[in-house]
């Protein structure tokens, strides 16, 4: 009888990289340039986003090694704070936390393909991609793992080649990465911190490997390496990519523009080859969609194992794949695509997920207080790295609430709905045992 397939380091790090590199880095620079004009300030913004993510990754590595079960925040918060808090985290992630970004990426993919091939319907393309990738990840972990590794490798190769081409280009405008007279004022401004919200969204996914900790061959060795090295690689890519965008294209042409990658590619390769950037970005998104469809259902499965009312979601096939959880997440994605509600959902999803990420990093202090030991990995720089994460992430949450109050309240409403489901489930469990 064949043993159950487990994923290794390369699949784990590909999940981190693929979850992180999506549409954000190719679309957000234009909006940052509306209020931030110094190249130095822009690069600091992206570097700061990487530092925040790395601090989080360092903490999640210790939590994941201590509690080597799939599910990420759901597991850590349930163990260290209370099952109720863990359930709320899992509820937000499993209902829309992964489904909404998958819907956004799928429709974005369909839009890019439609630019090149107008005869292809955007919605049909998005639904087809979701269906095909769902089929791959709902049947076999080994084939899904191989699919993910190949896609991520191709994504990295493409981006590296783009960065090299950018540095080989001779710009017609002057550019300096040195601090300017207005840089320190920009970095201290409200606009800088509001922009950090969108940079943080571009970096989201640094914790992706923790969702499959229970499916790893050697979680104590591979999880910390995947989280930390994956985050460092993406940070370097993001800083270099944004510099290439600014190096190849005058800032005046990028302000308020959504298709940053296309504009930069047009300068580097010319108008004819530049238009193929849309198709290339569409290809990059396949990797991101695959990673989220692979990671998200593991939270749903863990909830199904712990909550009697949701036990059916923990059912796996002969390959140990939680196929019902995969199908449920993709069904929610399809609904969001068909109703076009995912964009309005994304802000409140980001807000509510940030709250639970904040609580998860905070729980490292509870772990140490309870003296729950693991001999494999300790958070580097403790307690300073988690404190830095909490300070910067907390500041970002505050600015989201102040500037996006309505969306934040919708996020809190979804948490309240999750709380209601939890208590209904508890009552259901009590009545069942009466």
Angle formed at CA 234 by CA 99 and CA 79, multiple of 5 degrees: 55
Q: What mean pLDDT is predicted for residues 232-236?
A: 95
Count the alpha carbons within 13 Å of 102 in the hemisphere toward its beta carbon. 33
Res 397: pLDDT: 86
At 343 the pLDDT is: 60
Q: Is residue 433 part of a domain?
A: no
User: Which CATH number fits the domain that encloses residue 33?
Assistant: 1.20.1740.10
Find, among 364, 369, 381, the residue nearest to 65 by Cα: 364
- Classify residue 4: in a domain, yes or no: no
Q: Among 73-87, 137-151, 272-286, 364-378, whose mean pLDDT is lowest?
A: 272-286
Q: What is the DSSP letter of 76?
A: H
Confidence of residue 389 (pLDDT cuts 50, 70, 90): very high
pLDDT reading at 1 higher than 50? no
Domain-embedded: residue 434: no
**How many angstroms separate the CA atoms of 22 and 212, rounded?**
20
pLDDT tens readout for residues 3-58 = 677 888 999 999 899 888 877 787 788 888 888 888 888 999 999 999 999 999 99
Percentage of the chain surpassing pLDDT 90?
Answer: 34
Q: Would you call the peptide bond into 383 cis, given omega within 30 degrees of 0 as the criterion?
A: yes
- For 67-105, write each residue's pLDDT tens digit: 988 888 999 999 999 999 999 999 988 888 888 888 888
181/170 Cα distance (integer angstroms): 26
**Which pTM was predicted?**
0.86
Separation in Å, CA 425 to CA 9, 85, 318, 428: 37, 14, 28, 5
Q: How confident is the model at residue 73, as a pLDDT?
A: 92
Query: Which two three-digit tokens encode residue 188?
Result: 């201290």
The H or E element that residue 264 is part of is helix 260-269
Range of the domain at 237: 9-427
Among residues 75, 25, 60, the alpha carbon closest in space to that of 285 is found at 25
Number of domains in the chain: 1
- Rg (C-alpha) for the chain, rounded Å, is 21
């Amino acid at each position: 009888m064949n043993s159950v397939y487990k994923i290794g380091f390369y699949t784990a790090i590909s999940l981190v990289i693929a979850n992180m590199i999506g549409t954000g880095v190719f679309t957000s620079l234009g909006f940052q340039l509306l209020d931030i004009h110094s190249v130095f300030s822009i690069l600091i913004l992206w570097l700061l986003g990487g530092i925040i993510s790395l601090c989080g990754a360092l903490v999640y590595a210790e939590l994941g090694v201590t509690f080597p079960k799939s599910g990420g925040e759901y597991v850590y918060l349930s163990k260290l704070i209370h099952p109720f808090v863990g359930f709320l985290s899992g509820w937000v992630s499993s209902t829309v936390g992964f489904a909404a970004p998958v819907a956004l990426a799928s429709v974005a993919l369909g839009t890019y393909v439609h630019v090149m091939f107008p005869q292809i319907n955007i919605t049909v393309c998005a639904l087809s991609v979701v269906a095909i990738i769902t089929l791959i990840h709902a049947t076999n972990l080994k084939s899904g793992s191989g699919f993910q590794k190949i896609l991520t490798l191709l994504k990295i190769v493409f981006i590296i080649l783009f960065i090299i081409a950018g540095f080989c280009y001779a710009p017609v405008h002057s550019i300096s990465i040195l601090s300017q007279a207005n840089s320190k004022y920009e970095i201290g401004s409200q606009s800088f911190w509001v922009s950090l919200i969108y940079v943080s969204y571009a970096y989201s996914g640094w914790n992706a490997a923790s969702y499959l900790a229970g499916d790893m061959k050697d979680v104590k060795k591979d999880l910390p390496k995947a989280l930390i090295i994956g985050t460092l690689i993406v940070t370097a890519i993001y800083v270099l990519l944004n510099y290439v965008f600014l190096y190849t294209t005058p800032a005046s042409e990028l302000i308020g523009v959504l298709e940053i990658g296309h504009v930069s590619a047009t300068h580097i390769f010319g108008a004819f080859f530049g238009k193929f950037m849309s198709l290339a970005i569409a290809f990059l998104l396949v990797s991101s969609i695959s990673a989220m469809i692979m990671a998200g259902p593991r939270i749903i499965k863990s909830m199904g194992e712990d909550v009697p009312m949701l036990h059916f979601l923990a059912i796996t096939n002969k390959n140990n794949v939680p196929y019902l959880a995969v199908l449920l997440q993709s069904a929610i994605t399809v609904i969001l695509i068909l109703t076009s509600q995912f964009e309005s959902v994304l802000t409140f999803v980001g807000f509510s997920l940030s709250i639970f990420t904040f609580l998860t990093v905070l729980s490292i202090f509870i772990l140490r207080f309870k003296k729950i030991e693991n001999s494999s990995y300790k958070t580097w720089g403790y307690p300073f790295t988690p404190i830095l994460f909490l300070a910067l992430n907390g500041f970002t949450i505050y600015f989201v609430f102040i500037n996006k109050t309505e969306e934040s309240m919708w996020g809190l409403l979804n948490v309240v709905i999750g709380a209601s489901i939890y208590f209904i489930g508890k009552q259901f469990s009590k009545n069942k045992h009466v």
